[in-house]
Structures are given as structure tokens and as C-alpha cells.
Structure 1
Amino acid sequence: MPVTEIESESQFTELTKNDATKLIVLYFHTPWAQPCQTMNQIFKTVADSKASDNSISFLSINADELSEISELFEVSAVPYIILIRNSVILKELSGADPKEFINSLNQFSSSSSTSTSHNGPTPLATATATKPQTTSQPEEESEDAVQERLKKLTTAAPIMLFMKGSPSSPQCGFSRQLVAILREHQVRFGFFDILKDDSVRQGLKKFSDWPTFPQLYVNGEFQGGLDIVKESIEEDDQFFEKALQAAA
């Protein structure tokens, strides 16, 4: 098939690293976004027309299911198309504009140049490479097992945010505000979407002795929720730096 539907981060990494000289076309979409329904067919048709061209790879990515990849490229709206060669972002296209997509594809497929035409986001500019991997858990997990998993999750990155949704697609206003604060202060952080794992969501309330989300951890030490973090920054604008040093 000309279009490869990405199903995991490992598959994505393998396909994008196999041959860096290829032009790689990333198509981010969601099943609920109306513009994607039109763009899905256009993307497939264009990919089919290039089926004999081995120098191009067309990768389709569900932005909701693979939020880690979406966050890597700071995808905040769909449909979204990114053209890459030699690990360099050549072009980013937001929205369902078939003409712009085809023109951009023709422009870069006919050239081996890797000079950028758009200053795209630097991968991992705002999120640490050490992100917890969300794996399927047993239907029934013992309390001890949950506690052990939470210890690992809260220390998965120096600064860990437990939130509703992902940084690129927060599912509540409080999570959105805390992400904005971290980015404003240029803090590198890992995150965990508590909506995808109810054991973590419920267990963390007891683990932190804090009933709401988001929750922020620094080097495994609970710092608080949105209000406490805001108050801490108001008292000391170097709160994050000092918290890292104190918890080290």
C-alpha cells in the first residue's frame, strides 16, 4: 500500500530512520475532524499516483491515538501535513488545501535539497525524550503493583506532568494552563495522559494525596496542581530551577 498507517512509535521511528534521503510525508488526522474526511481521500489519491516513486514515503498518523508523535511535532490542529528529508522539516501545511499540498509535494519531490522553507518546530523542544510508554495494563492490578508503577512514572523525567490529554491537545482548561506555564518558562517535561489509564488516574490521587489534575512532579517529588504552581512562580520566578536542585 502506498500509504502506511502508523500504529506505534517504534514503527514510526523505524520508517523515518530507514532511509533518511527519502522524502517523508507525514499526514496527521483524527476520525472526528470534518476536514480530515475530505483530506483522507486526497492524501490516498496523491499517494497512489506516486506509487512507483520509491523516493517518497507517505505515512498516515492518528493524532489522538499517537499523541506522543503529535507532541513531537507540536501538531495542534488537523489535518496537518509535514514534509521531511534527512531529518529536516521542509514544509508544514495546516488545513485541507489540496492545491497547496500537491504543489509542495511536487516542489520537494523533484529536489534533493534539504534547505528548509519553513522554520518548523525543533523536535523535543518542549518535551523530554524520556516519556513514559503507555502500555496496556491487566484489567485487575494489585495496589502494590499500581504503587510501584506510579513510582516509576513520577520519576520517568526530571519534570513530569500528569494531565488530561496531551500537551498538543489538552482535554481540560487547567491542564492547558499548566502546559502553557511550562512552555512559557521553557521547561522540558515529560507527560502522562491520565485519561488513558484509570489505574494511574485513581491511584495517583492517593499516591499524591491530591484529588485533582493536573499534577506536577519534580524528580519524583510532588509539587502540586495548577494553583500551587502558579503561586510558587509568583513568589519565585526561578521556582522550576530551584525545585530541580532541591529534589536532586
Structure 2
Amino acid sequence: MSDVPSDFDPESPEDRDIAGEAARDRSDFLSLIGHVYRGELGRATSWRTRIDRTTNWAVVLIATLLTWAFSGDARPHYILLVGMVMMTVFFWIEARRYRIYDIWRSRVRLLEENVFANALDPEGAKQPAWRELLSEDLRKPVIKTPTIEAISRRLRRIYFPLITVLVGAWIVRLTVFADTDVGIVGTAAVGGLPGRIVLVAVGAYYATIIALTVWPERRQAKGKLRSKSDSAEWK
């Protein structure tokens, strides 16, 4: 048998808006919020796992490249340059995943700060209009973290040290195993590309990574939902 009551009419405006009754009943509302919290927490956990998986790939790749690059004198140095390119691809993918993850995390933090924290120590909601903010975000989900901010965070927390290890290993590979006949500049050459150009390109790349890593952070890392006026600053 169907669980739908016989007097339920899906075409009726009142029945279509039946969920709105939960807003006027305290017990129904708190029960609904619990389900919402568990759902958003599950999504955040799933995307957190995807982020960690990308980081694991990056660490394994670096370990493999370093082991192979220093396993013999004849190993080409440019394999470490390939590793830098791969690190760039990895942190770009991870920054994108981080932006998606922050959608769910921001909702979880909104509920934790304004519902659960207030239930444990009733000092008042941190965001008086938290219900309106959450309702609007559920109806029209938006990515709240700008791309450059996501890149800066992932570099600062994970990828800057990994890329620094690769750059340092590449410099050691050039200096320790340099061809004495052509010097470091000549050893840095890749195919028909002069070593001077390669050195300048790597230097520019690393300088860009440093600039992105120290990019000023204008938003708190708690992942709070913003009002429309706050969100407009990033557009």
C-alpha cells in the first residue's frame, strides 16, 4: 500500500508547500535540520576524500620520480621538470575539488555555528538570518571560494612544499651531475631548448608559485555563507 494519505493532492498549492509547515513547528523543524545536517556532512566528507586522494597521488608521484631520477648518473634531469608540470595539474584539480567541497562545508559550518553550538551554550546565533541564507543556498547553490583563493590555500597547505622539493632536487641534479664541459647552463638544456631558457622558465614558474602561495587571504577559513553584498566582492 502507498504511504501517501488519501487526502493528499499533489496539485493543491497547500499540499505542494507542505514542507513549509515545518518552519512553524519546532519539533518538526529540528528533526528536519538534523536530516539536512547529516546529508550535507556526508557530501562534505565525500569531497574531502576526493581531495585527499589527489594529494596521495601527488606524493606517490614525487617519491617515484625522485627515486628514479637519482638512481643513476645517466638519468635525464628533465624528468623532474615533467614532475613539476604534473604537480601543477594535480593542484589545479585539487583546487577545483576544494571549491566544490566548500559548498557543502559552508552549510555544515552554518548549522554547527547557529544550531548545535547554540543548543550547547545558548548565546544567540552568530548569523541572525542563517535560515534565509541556508534556504537561498539550497535553492541556488553557488561556489563561494574564488579560484585563486582555492589555489593559494592548496599550495600553502600541501603543494608548495612538494613543488619546492622537486625544484630543489632538480637544482641538485644539475649541480652534482653537471657536465663539466658545458657547465650547469649547458646541462640544463632540454633537447634543442637552450639551458638558459630552461633556467629562466623554471625560475619564473617558481616565482609564480611563491606569489600564489603568499596571496593575501581575504576570507576566514571557516567556510561561512556570505550575504549577497559580501559575495559580490569576488565577482
> Which range, TM-score by smaller chain?
under 0.3
TM-score, structure 2 normalization: 0.26
- Bigger RCO (CA 8 Å, 6+ sep): 2
Determine which structure has more spread, i.e. the larger CA radius of gyration.
2
